[in-house]
Amino acid sequence: MRVPKKGRPSLGSSGVLGSHRSLAFWSRRKLAEPPYLELVAWNKWHVFWVDERVVPKDHEDSNYKLALDGLLAKVPIPPGQVYAINDALSAEGAADDYETCLKQLVKNGVIAMSQTTGFPRFDVMLLGMGPDGHIASLFPGHPLVNENQRWVTYIKDSPKPPPERITFTFPVINSSAYVAMVVTGAGNAGAVQKALSDKQTSSDLLPIEMAVLQDGEFTWFTDKPAVSMLQNK
């Protein structure tokens, strides 16, 4: 999805959905109801998943199902512009397949490339964070957080179930033009406090602290419990 410029998205807009909480948040914000339903040029959106659980698309754990039920079934995005993973493949196969799909869409001009980083540049990413500071399926202390070649990779030992997932890598997330980070609930307050404190050291960075956009805008959307450990709330 794209941040509207002068009220209208432009052609070839690319957006990424990546979060339970963030989707619930945007659905509650009536994105699929008037006046936004008419204001947004939904037919120009191309929708991807920043991470996905390797389960059938109709499984309760599927991020695709969550997005379909919460938002996509309610807005007129052409089905050919919604890019779900191939759920018939293994985690490794699905990650390869998704990366190949992104590369083809870059060639076709649907997804832009970042001139700064050499990775794809999505217009909007709707992300969330877990209480351990994970974003997408990039978990603290897991070697995947250091992946710097692949666009999409896979995990088979996710600490949060289900264990098998695919995920965008940090170079892709950090090439975004805009990230909307939705964090709610007291359970996330510690990670928010750590992320926004000045005391980070490179040795113990949480994934949320590694989300540093190269040339983009990062906006937090929180409720009060999530920021309850910050000094100046």
Ligand X SMILES: O=C1O[C@H](COP(=O)(O)O)[C@@H](O)[C@H](O)[C@H]1O
The residues of the shown chain that bind ligand X, judged by CB under 6 A, are 18-22, 51, 63, 127-130, 135-137, 160
The one-letter code for the residue type at 115 is Q
| Residue 20 CB burial class (10 angstroms; 0-12, 13-18, ≥19) | middle
Distance CA 214, CA 201 (A): 19
| Comparison of 4 and 193: residue with beta carbon closer to ligand X | 193
Give the nearest distance from C-beta 52 to ligand X in angstroms. Answer: 7
| Comparison of 26 and 45: residue with beta carbon closer to ligand X | 26
| Comparison of 22 and 222: residue with beta carbon closer to ligand X | 22
Distance CA 106, CA 120 (A): 7
- Please work out, in degrees rounded to the nearest 5, the angle formed at the alpha carbon of residue 110 by the alpha carbons of 106 and 111: 55
| Comparison of 44 and 53: residue with beta carbon closer to ligand X | 53
Give the nearest distance from C-beta 51 to ligand X in angstroms. Answer: 5
> Which token pair is 231?
């000094």
| Comparison of 44 and 128: residue with beta carbon closer to ligand X | 128
Q: Nearest to residue 71, comparing CAs of 135, 122, 136, 15?
A: 15
Give the nearest distance from C-beta 88 to ligand X in angstroms. Answer: 20
β-sheet bridge partners, residue 85: none
Q: Nearest to residue 92, comparing CAs of 167, 178, 200?
A: 167
Give the nearest distance from C-beta 33 to ligand X in angstroms. Answer: 22
Give the nearest distance from C-beta 6 to ligand X in angstroms. Answer: 30
Helix, strand, coil percent values for the chain (each to nearest 5): 35, 20, 45
By DSSP bridging, strand 178-183 and strand 217-222 are parallel
| Comparison of 120 and 128: residue with beta carbon closer to ligand X | 128
Give the nearest distance from C-beta 197 to ligand X in angstroms. Answer: 20
Instruction: Tell me the residue number closest to ligand X, measured at CB.
Output: 128
